[in-house]
């Protein structure tokens, strides 16, 4: 189904709308359009709360939550952390030092670039603090390679390890999170804590790291610019991020919820 399809009656009404940021809420220039802001306000006026779920660190997510005056917790680092609107940490799932070092050795073995995310910090390959690894709280590891054969081999090695949750972030990179961590799991916990049924959740995203939340939500909406695999699992496809796809999706939701 695509954005040109006739609106359908949606039941039940939705109480929570979860948004990815890059390629979804933001356009290709990294800006939230005024049209999207307008329809986010209309959603809230209709009784739908808004939450952000991003692969980014909280320091990049928090300014957007403040700009939109959001009050619900922020899901960051693909679900590794959940932060309250006031900046206090609610939940955190970490990786061990040994897991991080194992992943780094794997990256070195394959001569591939990587990025490591810690609480409050992130490090590119050359800046990894190998001699101070005990001093950080580790959250996530990212492999980057343009070689599909290398990427597939790295993926299989990480999968065989059995201690990680893997997410394809883009054709050239994938994220390694602690086992059981995903945006979908974080949304499930958020709903449990706020008395919201998953059937009352709508989620919008474009990347493969959004797949878990589109699957778990009562209504999963893929952006027009989403990966084809994401579009295939979505319940509906909106316009792309440069065509106010979030606003179009909210119109769809509100049109069907009345």
Tell me the per-residue pLDDT of 120-153, one tens digit each, with 9 for 90 and over: 888 887 788 878 899 999 999 999 999 999 999 9
Residue 3, pLDDT > 80, answer: no
Question: What's the pLDDT at 256?
Answer: 60
Per-residue model confidence as pLDDT tens digits over 41-60 = 999 999 999 999 999 999 99
In the chain, CATH 3.30.1240.10 covers: 97-178
Residues of the chain with CATH 3.40.50.1000: 16-92+182-254
Confidence of residue 9 (pLDDT cuts 50, 70, 90): very low
Instruction: For the domain made up of 16-92+182-254, give the CATH fold.
Output: Rossmann fold (3.40.50)
Exposure string of 163-195, with b = 16+ CB inside 10 Å and e = fewer, is ebbbbbbeeebbbbbbeebbbbbbbbbbbeeee
What topology does CATH give the domain 97-178?
3.30.1240
pTM of the predicted protein model: 0.89
| pLDDT tens digit sequence for 156-189 | 999 999 999 999 877 899 999 999 999 999 999 9
101 compared with 255, residue with greater pLDDT = 101
Q: Say which residue, 1 or 252, is predicted with more confidence.
A: 252
């Amino acid at each position: 189904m695509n954005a040109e399809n006739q609106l359908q009656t949606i039941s039940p009404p939705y109480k929570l709308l979860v948004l990815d940021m890059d390629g979804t809420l933001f356009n290709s220039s990294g800006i939230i359009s005024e049209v999207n802001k307008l329809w986010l306000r209309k959603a809230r006026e209709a009784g739908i709360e808004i939450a952000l779920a991003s692969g980014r660190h909280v320091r990049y997510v928090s300014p957007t939550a403040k700009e939109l005056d959001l009050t619900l917790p922020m899901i960051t680092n693909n679900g590794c952390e959940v932060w309250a609107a006031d900046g206090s940490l609610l939940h955190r799932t970490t990786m061990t030092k040994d897991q991080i070092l194992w992943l780094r050795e794997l990256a070195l073995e394959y001569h591939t670039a990587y990025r490591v995310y810690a609480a409050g910090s992130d490090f590119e390959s050359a800046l990894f603090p190998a001699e101070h690894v005990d001093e950080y709280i580790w959250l996530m590891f990212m492999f980057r390679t343009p070689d599909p054969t290398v990427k597939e081999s790295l993926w299989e090695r990480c999968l065989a390890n059995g201690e990680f949750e893997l997410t394809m972030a883009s054709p050239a990179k994938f994220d390694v999170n602690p086992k059981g961590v995903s945006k979908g799991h974080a949304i499930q916990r958020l709903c449990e804590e706020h008395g919201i049924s998953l059937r009352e959740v709508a989620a919008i995203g474009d990347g493969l790291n959004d797949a878990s939340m589109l699957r778990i939500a009562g209504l999963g909406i893929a952006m027009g610019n989403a990966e084809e695999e994401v579009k295939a699992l979505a319940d509906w496809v909106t316009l792309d991020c440069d065509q106010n796809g979030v606003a179009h999706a909210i119109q769809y939701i509100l049109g069907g919820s009345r």
